[in-house]
């Protein structure tokens, strides 16, 4: 389903404590805003508008570095005005296209919440994720007598909230108060629209108070998945004086033949990383038919794969490479290879392994026709 989205990131968020507004603060290695932007881009949003203050332009661009597919517009004096500014920036999209309105302060936006409200919008004027109130509700001043309130049919409203854009704009135009609406569903409700509740997600918590960040840091670990990829490569031996293996040049009486520097270790490892993030293989990114890669040093292939991991908010966990050949002896060069790989990958040495084996004279590696390499890479990315 085609949909657009508005993220409201114009607030100063004073309740979250002094210093930087909460949407720009670091949460488990990336800015709070970036979490939900990545989720919406991964969900296939057609146009994403981030409503921010003009003086936050620099920090906004820093926060979303390497991400494309978003645009920004200036916020208003209130949340309601900011939302309307965001909707106005979607004027080039179909008027009745579903639009999600999301608070930047809810970083853990999962695909299920997005799909849930979009699906529910087919039968309603608005759809919001909601959690049933589980605690007993009390009313009264702290030092006065309390009364207990019924909690039946009470919901904690979350975002993203889904509407048809023309319907939401018309509801805002008709809003008469009292006061400011605290969410968009309220505006549609007052205009007579039917808003329905889809299953909310406790992970969609809103970061409001300083202590919320500590809990969110712990939750951040639970929003990541571990992925594994494997790679294999082989090159033929030919006349030469040295060979490149795992980014290290080794003096040898032969060399490996290939379009680039034929570093089978780096090629297998590059494919393993690409495999872990579902990004095809090395040939997709650096076609052997392209003359610019002739004789190229393969560390750039590996660096590119690492960059693709980082672009999607991921981190490398560890890698393990096995070189398969009778000659040259790998052991004297293993430490240098691990160090070189650790440098390219930005990993500590104990997360980088290089091993070697022969095939006891069997097969093409045993007969000395070529060298083979295999690799495994483990990557963590947002779920």
Look at the block and give the residue holding tokens 């968020």.
13
Minimum CB separation from Mg ion for residue 256, in Å? 9
Nearer to Mg ion, 158 or 365 (CB): 365
Nearer to Mg ion, 83 or 269 (CB): 269
- Vertex 65, ends 60 and 69: CA angle to 5°? 85
Minimum CB separation from Mg ion for residue 232, in Å? 10
| Sequence-separated (6 or more) residues with CB below 8 Å from residue 355 | 320, 321, 322, 323
Nearer to Mg ion, 227 or 267 (CB): 267
What is the dihedral angle through the alpha carbons of 182, 184, 190, 195, rounded to the nearest 10 degrees?
-120
**Residue 241, helix vs strand vs coil:** coil
| Sequence-separated (6 or more) residues with CB below 8 Å from residue 122 | none
Minimum CB separation from Mg ion for residue 66, in Å? 27
| b (16+ CB within 10 A) / e for 183-193 | bbbbbbbebeb
Nearer to Mg ion, 256 or 330 (CB): 256
Minimum CB separation from Mg ion for residue 302, in Å? 12
Nearer to Mg ion, 267 or 338 (CB): 267
Q: Closest-CB residue for Mg ion?
A: 267
| Sequence-separated (6 or more) residues with CB below 8 Å from residue 363 | none
Chain residues in the site for Mg ion (CB under 5 A): 233, 267
Minimum CB separation from Mg ion for residue 288, in Å? 9
Nearer to Mg ion, 153 or 292 (CB): 292
Helices (H), the chain: 32-42, 57-63, 79-88, 111-120, 165-174, 184-190, 210-222, 264-276, 282-285, 299-311, 334-345, 363-366
Minimum CB separation from Mg ion for residue 351, in Å? 24
Minimum CB separation from Mg ion for residue 353, in Å? 20
Nearer to Mg ion, 184 or 233 (CB): 233
Nearest to 188 by CA among 132, 128, 133: 128
Q: Strands 70-74, 47-52: parallel, antiparallel or unpaired by DSSP? A: parallel
Nearer to Mg ion, 130 or 265 (CB): 265
N-term to C-term CA, the chain: 21
Nearest to 160 by CA among 123, 122, 110, 125: 110
Nearer to Mg ion, 103 or 233 (CB): 233
Minimum CB separation from Mg ion for residue 73, in Å? 47
- Vertex 92, ends 87 and 97: CA angle to 5°? 65
Backbone angles phi, psi at 72, to 5 degrees: -135, 155
Minimum CB separation from Mg ion for residue 265, in Å? 10
């Amino acid at each position: 389903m085609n949909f657009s989205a508005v993220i409201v990131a114009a607030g100063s968020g004073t309740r979250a404590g002094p210093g930087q507004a909460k949407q720009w603060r670091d949460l488990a290695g990336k800015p709070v805003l970036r979490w939900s932007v990545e989720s919406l881009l991964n969900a296939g949003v057609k146009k994403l508008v981030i409503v921010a203050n003009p003086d936050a332009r620099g920090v906004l661009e820093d926060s979303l570095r390497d991400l494309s597919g978003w645009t920004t517009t200036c916020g208003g004096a209130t949340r309601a005005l900011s939302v309307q500014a965001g909707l106005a920036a979607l004027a080039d999209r179909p008027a009745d296209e579903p639009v999600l309105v999301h608070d930047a302060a809810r970083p853990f936006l999962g695909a299920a919440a997005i799909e849930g409200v979009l699906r529910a919008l087919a039968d309603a004027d608005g759809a919001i994720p909601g959690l049933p109130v589980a605690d007993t509700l009390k009313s009264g001043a702290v030092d006065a007598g309390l009364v207990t309130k019924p909690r039946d049919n009470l919901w904690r409203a979350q975002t993203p909230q889904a509407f048809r854009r023309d319907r939401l704009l018309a509801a805002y135009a008709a809003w008469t108060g009292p006061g400011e609406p605290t969410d968009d569903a309220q505006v549609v409700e007052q205009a007579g629209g039917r808003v329905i509740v889809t299953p909310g997600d406790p992970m969609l918590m809103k970061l409001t108070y300083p202590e919320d960040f500590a809990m969110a840091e712990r939750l951040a670990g639970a929003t990541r998945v571990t992925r594994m990829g494997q790679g294999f490569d082989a090159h033929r031996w030919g006349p030469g004086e040295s060979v490149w293996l795992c980014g290290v040049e080794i003096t040898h009486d032969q060399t490996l033949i290939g379009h680039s520097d034929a570093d089978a270790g780096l090629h297998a490892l590059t494919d393993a990383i690409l495999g872990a993030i579902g990004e095809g293989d090395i040939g997709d990114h650096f076609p052997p038919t392209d003359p610019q890669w002739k004789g190229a040093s393969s560390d750039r292939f590996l660096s590119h794969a690492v960059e693709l991991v980082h672009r999607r908010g991921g981190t490398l966990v560890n890698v393990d490479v096995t070189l398969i050949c009778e000659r040259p002896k790998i052991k004297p060069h293993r430490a240098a290879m691990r160090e070189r790989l650790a440098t390219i990958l930005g990993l500590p040495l104990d997360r980088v392994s290089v091993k070697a084996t022969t095939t006891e004279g069997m097969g093409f590696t045993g007969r000395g026709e070529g060298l083979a390499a295999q690799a495994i890479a483990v990557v963590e990315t947002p779920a």
